[in-house]
Structure 1
Amino acid sequence: MVDLPLHGRCFCGAIRFEAKSEPLQVSWCHCRDCRRQTGAPAVVWAGFPGDLVAWHGAPKDRQSSPGVTRSFCPDCGTPLTYLDSRLPGEIYIHAGLFDEADRLVPDRHAYVTAKLFWLHLDDTLAKYDDDTRHRPDVPHP
């Protein structure tokens, strides 16, 4: 159980947010798209119902692949979110942006087949070859 709400911001503070619910999941992602977006060898996403996250400031959106939109701070460039059209109503926020990041403990790994061979995470979390949340087999718009 995580104390609510959770607070976070971009590097410069122009974008702030508040999550008013428990995360749906907190997952490591090893996919190439997330690595390229952040420059990190892997990222941790915290997913929430989108209507329970309040934003202060205006993130800039960018479609990164069909059906996937990522946002970032237009002032400092901090990567912020991931939206997937196949997961309507859900928003995924980089866990490291939260003031309470130490309370967002990962519970799974996504895209382990793309994991960098030199990255070693000794844990017993579930590992998936692709997504950790079922997405309907519907083409992206």
Structure 2
Amino acid sequence: MERIYEGGCACGSVRYRVSGEPLAVGLCHCADCRKETGSAFLYYADWPRSAFSVEGDYATYDGRSFCPNCGTRLFHLGAEGAEIALGSLDAAPSRFVPEREGWIKRREPWLTTIPGAGQFHEDPF
């Protein structure tokens, strides 16, 4: 049986689902991800676009989608894939261990390397 993961924004206006296991899980330390999350990095996972569905109206800025009511950052949709901000899942995403870290040249010195994760000076793509 295929796993279903559900998530959404803080106010409940936008809800999404992804099915199956992610293609990749990672952390991004780039300046754009820092700004969009208000944190030191983005914790994300990628699914095929066909595994993603959404209900509710969301806004998009520079490819990144969020709830226009509460501002929760949710996902980045491309023609082939859906990158999910894992903090927006309903259940804690602790089973998704990052397998790669991008933009480590901007990683804060007080953050440690994720054991076993690929380390990429810039984008891992």
TM-score of the superposition, structure 1-length normalised? 0.79
Aligned to 2:48: 49
Alignment partners' CA distance in 2, 1:26 and 1:102:
11
Q: Which runs of 5+ in 2 are unaligned?
A: none
Aligned to 2:97: 105
CA contact (8 A) 1:8 1:98 kept: yes
CA contact (8 A) 2:98 2:114 kept: no
Q: Which amino acid aligns with 2:94?
A: D
TM-score of the superposition, structure 2-length normalised? 0.89
Aligned to 1:94: 85
Q: Aligned-pair distance for 1:114?
A: 1.3
Q: Which amino acid aligns with 1:35?
A: R
Aligned to 1:81: 75
Dislocated runs of 4+, deviation >6 Å: none
Alignment partners' CA distance in 2, 1:124 and 1:21:
23
Write the deviation string for residues 10-37 of structure 1: whole angstroms up to 9, x where unpaired: 1111111110121110101110100011
Q: Aligned-pair distance for 1:122?
A: 5.0
- 2:125 maps to 1:127: no
Alignment partners' CA distance in 2, 1:82 and 1:127:
22
Change (3 A) 1:118 1:98: same
Alignment partners' CA distance in 2, 1:11 and 1:20:
21
Write the deviation string for residues 45-103 of structure 1: whole angstroms up to 9, x where unpaired: 1111112111011110112xxxxx1111001000111246xxx4111110111123122
Q: Give the secondary-structure state (helix, strand or coil) at the position aligned to 1:103.
A: coil
Alignment partners' CA distance in 2, 1:73 and 1:5:
21
Alignment partners' CA distance in 1, 2:36 and 2:114:
25
Alignment partners' CA distance in 1, 2:17 and 2:114:
31
Identity of paired residues, percent?
33
